[in-house]
Amino acid sequence: MFIFKTVKSIQNHLNKKQTRQKKIGFVPTMGALHEGHLSLLKQSLKENDLTVVSIFVNPTQFGDPEDLEKYPKPIESDIEKLEKYGCDLLFLPETKEVYPHNRVKKEINLRGLDKTMEGAHRPNHFAGVVGVVDRLLEIVQPDRLYMGQKDYQQFAIIKQFLRRTKSKTELIRIPIVREADGLAMSSRNIRLSDAGRKKAVIISQTLYQAREDSKTMTLTEVKQKALSHLKSNGMDVDYFEIADGDNLQSITTSEQSDTVIICTTVRIDGIRLLDNIIIKESH
Ligand code: PAF
């Protein structure tokens, strides 16, 4: 696996004629790689001639400096995992490479998609995500971009961003990878206490039950039941929303929506755990 730390070096490599003739898949990450990330990598390796993974803990998407500080950075084991799975290229830039002084910051209107759910709890988070993904795409210029369903709102925002900027990059959504008991994999899970880790299973159980309930109950009833279940189990719920999968607005009936998603974020041991489930999708 080639490792590049500067924009110039990765671009020199990617811009070689024989490389540009290849299909390039791209998996942006912030490191601390787990099975969830590796499922994106595996899919990209299957569908492309060359796969680029980036590891960059993007400061502009963290509101809380402490969260940024505490973000795990196990770079040696990340590199080992990427090599084991057969990643072709790792882009491992420093902040000054991603955000050079002379770079003009683009104003990106996210049309309210960044204001609901996660956005209501993390102001400017999605502006930071879109900014860095835009910059990484400019550097790598991939044919396909792989993102996880785990961060569904992020996926939906990037999808809209690519559509509006008429990007040639195709966005591929990869399903959530779960632990054996159902907990969605996340780099944050290792920060849970033993008791917190046990309690965390309630999140996915509630989502599965909500999907079942949606077959016989109104969405308002589904939401009320799920919220009271989470709260009666002592969960500190940031939000539990049933939303249109494209515009991310809360809905009470699924008829008008092609995609319907239930998204929740719960805090355990002060750690925010996100999860979601798609209950309707028409292709
Ligand atoms: O999902 C993530 O890990 C990050 O938000 C991303 C897409 C790599 C941008 O920093």
Closest CA to 282 of 256, 259, 252, 254: 259
283 annotated active-site: no
- The ranges of the chain annotated as CATH 3.30.1300.10 are 187-276
Ligand 1 lined by 185 (C-beta under 6 Å) = no
- The ranges of the chain annotated as CATH 3.40.50.620 are 2-174
Mean pLDDT by 10 residues, the chain (283 residues): 98 90 97 97 98 97 88 95 98 97 82 95 95 97 98 98 95 98 94 96 98 98 98 96 97 96 97 97 87
* CA–CA separation, 153 and 23 (whole Å): 27
Ligand 1 lined by 132 (C-beta under 6 Å) = yes
Please state which CATH number belongs to domain 2-174.
3.40.50.620
- Phi, psi (degrees; rounded to nearest 5) at 266: -125, 145
Domain 187-276 has CATH 3.30.1300.10: yes
Q: What's the pTM value of the predicted model, to 2 decimals?
A: 0.96
Return the residue whose CA atom lies nearest to atom 5 of ligand 1: 129
Instruction: Name 114's Cβ contacts closer than 8 Å, sequence gap at least 6.
Output: 125, 126, 127, 157
Ligand 1 lined by 54 (C-beta under 6 Å) = no
Q: Do the Cβ atoms of 155 and 147 come closer than 8 Å?
A: yes
Catalytic residue among 37, 101, 121, 283: 37
Q: Residue 20's pLDDT is what? A: 84
Determine the distance separating the centroid of ligand 1 and the alpha carbon of 217, expressed in angstroms.
35
